[in-house]
Structure 1
Amino acid sequence: MPQGKIIKALSGFYYVLTEEDQVIQCRGRGVFRKNKVTPLVGDEVVFQADNELEGYILEVFERKNELVRPPIANVDQAILVFSAVEPGFSTALLDRFLVLVEFNRIRPIICVTKMDLTTSDEKEEIHNYAKQYRQAGYEVLLTSSETETGVDQLIPMLEGEISVFAGQSGVGKSSLLNVLRPDLELKTDDISSHLGRGKHTTRHVELIKVGNGLVADTPGFSSLEFTDIEAEDLNYCFPDIEQISENCKFRGCLHLKEPKCAVKEAVETGELPQYRYEHFQQFLQEIKDRKPRY
């Protein structure tokens, strides 16, 4: 039986990219509904088809990871797109994205857009943040879709990978993809001056070929919940805090009121940025306050 990868899911149809580079329109067999398996973009599948418009997915292979919002599976890396301005750069939202990506064992790349629109003070602030996130172990790119600055650094990172572009609405994900693949002509919208945020311009998840890689342009969203993350998991989702915590006196230290906590000491000495520690505390409290699921 032929195999392929789902590159788009729309209106009950799944579009499967075959090993021969064909795209076959398929439906899911009823067995998936019965077993409560919903095929996702990114899934490796077995299918049968008599032609390009009438195929059926027979089997979904085991996933190495999956995201709920956006609904996509088997992601290698997440390009977290955040604008320097319009909307303004938010470390709180970025750290929230980073935690969810780290929890799903997806490699994050931070991509700051609209650098051409910054004042000298804003530019300096973004460069400082970039330095701090690099020190935390993250790859950070400073880009502009308008001038195409920094985009050449991103292109080789996409080769041979399944990458998901994610971030708040209006930060320029579609504009960035239009630079990578001008023929796509993806729809973009300006920021709503009334709401102060972008309109959703991407309506569904779709994997797009960029060079020898596949890139997902995903619907923008601005709220993320830690539904599956437990308190003891959070440490591992902050690689800088995890590394520093090896020197904490107590194993399983939550870096709150425990004595001889290396993380709190690192904040005091400036080794760990105050905002990273505050976000850790905030997320930990959010997880603790979460209503139990039965």
Structure 2
Amino acid sequence: MPQGKIMKALSGFYYVLDNDHVFQCRGRGVFRKNKVTPLVGDEVVYQAENDREGYILEIGNRKNELIRPPIANIDQAILVFSAVEPGFSSLLLDRFLVLIEANNITPVICISKVDLADGEKKEAIYEFAKDYEAIGYEVILTSTISKEGIHDLLPLFKHKTSVFAGQSGVGKSSLLNVLKPELDLKTSNISTHLGRGKHTTRHVELLMVGQGLVADTPGFSSLDFLGIEAEELSAYFPEISEKSADCKFRGCTHVKEPKCAVKAAVEAEEIKTYRYEHYLSFMEEIKDRKPRY
């Protein structure tokens, strides 16, 4: 049976790419019965009804999957955060980093609109970039106007499936348009009343960019920590995870325990205070969530 990859999902149809030919497919009823939904990024076995249409018969094993946006088999996430309009938020970035790493996806931090930042704002952005690079993250500063950082982004896509993530209005579609102008993706200006952008992408679709596949998505509509347990959280803060080995007590949560190497590292400024505060905030959120039955 022929095999392919789901490139787009729209109105109950799945568009399967097989050797440069796209088939518009529906899922068999067995998926609904088994409560399995085909996702963009899935490797599938399908049956062609003619040279344009068919049915998906099997879904291959997934190495990871996201629910909102619904997509599978992602290699890396380009986390796009604007320097201004909307303003850069390290708290929101850390939330994305935890969620992405918990799904076994490699994050790349992309700070957009750096040309719009000046004075103290620009200095602050460069300091944040240094902080995250010191932790071990790849950070790229970009501008669709000056084209800064664009040539650094393009090689990252080679032979990988990537997803662009970030709040609306940060310029995800604008970046993709600069990377590949023929995409001509719809963009929208920031709302001056709300201080945020409008969603301009309505469905999930894999686009061929820079010898790889890039997902243009409607954005992350859920940023909670369901599925992440309190004892796992430190693993998604690399600098905290590294220091954990030196804590006196095994299973230290780095909150109130004595002789905690993580708290000592914060006091010694080896771990940034804001990162530790975000860790504590996420820990409290996880502990306070209501159990699901």
Taking structure 1 as the reference length, what is the TM-score of the superposition?
Answer: 0.98
d(CA) in 2 for partners of 1:160, 1:197 = 33
Give the AA of the match of 1:252: G
d(CA) in 1 for partners of 2:101, 2:248 = 25
User: Is 1:69–2:68 an aligned residue pair?
Assistant: yes
Indicate the residue corresponding to 1:182 in structure 2: 181
d(CA) in 2 for partners of 1:221, 1:170 = 13
State the secondary structure of the residue aligned to 2:52: coil
d(CA) in 2 for partners of 1:5, 1:256 = 45
User: Is 1:232–2:242 an aligned residue pair?
Assistant: no
User: Is 1:242–2:241 an aligned residue pair?
Assistant: yes
Indicate the residue corresponding to 2:113 in structure 1: 114
d(CA) in 2 for partners of 1:221, 1:6 = 20
Indicate the residue corresponding to 1:262 in structure 2: 261
d(CA) in 2 for partners of 1:250, 1:227 = 27
Deviations 1:78-126 (A, max 9, x none): 0000000000000000000000001001000000000010112211111
Counting only pairs closer than 5 Å after superposition, residues 22-37 of structure 1 correspond to structure 2 as 22-37=21-36
d(CA) in 1 for partners of 2:5, 2:221 = 28
Give the AA of the match of 2:73: N
State the secondary structure of the residue aligned to 2:283: helix
Indicate the residue corresponding to 2:5 in structure 1: 5
Give the AA of the match of 1:108: P
Counting only pairs closer than 5 Å after superposition, residues 18-167 of structure 1 correspond to structure 2 as 18=18, 20-167=19-166
Deviation at 1:208, TM superposition (A): 0.1
Deviation at 1:151, TM superposition (A): 0.8
Taking structure 2 as the reference length, what is the TM-score of the superposition?
Answer: 0.98
Cα gap change, 1:45/1:233 in structure 2, threshold over 3 Å: closer, same or farther? same
d(CA) in 2 for partners of 1:222, 1:92 = 17
Structure 2 unaligned segments of length 5 or more: list them.
Answer: none
Deviation at 1:212, TM superposition (A): 1.5
Indicate the residue corresponding to 2:15 in structure 1: 15
State the secondary structure of the residue aligned to 1:192: coil
**Equivalent residues of 1:164, 1:217 under 8 A apart:** yes
Structure 1 unaligned segments of length 5 or more: list them.
Answer: none
Counting only pairs closer than 5 Å after superposition, residues 188-207 of structure 1 correspond to structure 2 as 188-207=187-206
d(CA) in 1 for partners of 2:27, 2:187 = 32
d(CA) in 1 for partners of 2:120, 2:243 = 31
**Equivalent residues of 1:25, 1:52 under 8 A apart:** no
Deviation at 1:52, TM superposition (A): 4.0
State the secondary structure of the residue aligned to 2:8: strand
- The alignment covers a number of residue pairs equal to 293
Indicate the residue corresponding to 1:283 in structure 2: 282
**Equivalent residues of 2:230, 2:286 under 8 A apart:** yes
For structure 1, which segment, 139-148 or 47-56, has the greater mean C-alpha deviation from structure 2 after superposition? Answer: 47-56
State the secondary structure of the residue aligned to 1:127: helix
Q: Which consecutive aligned stretches of 4+ in structure 1 deviate over 4 angstroms post-superposition?
A: none
Deviation at 1:148, TM superposition (A): 1.1
Deviations 1:3-30 (A, max 9, x none): 1110100000000111x11111100000
d(CA) in 1 for partners of 2:68, 2:220 = 8
d(CA) in 1 for partners of 2:201, 2:258 = 48
**Equivalent residues of 1:9, 1:206 under 8 A apart:** yes
Give the AA of the match of 1:13: F
User: Is 1:169–2:168 an aligned residue pair?
Assistant: yes
Percentage of matched positions with identical amino acids: 70
Give the AA of the match of 2:178: V
d(CA) in 1 for partners of 2:156, 2:249 = 39
d(CA) in 2 for partners of 1:87, 1:93 = 12
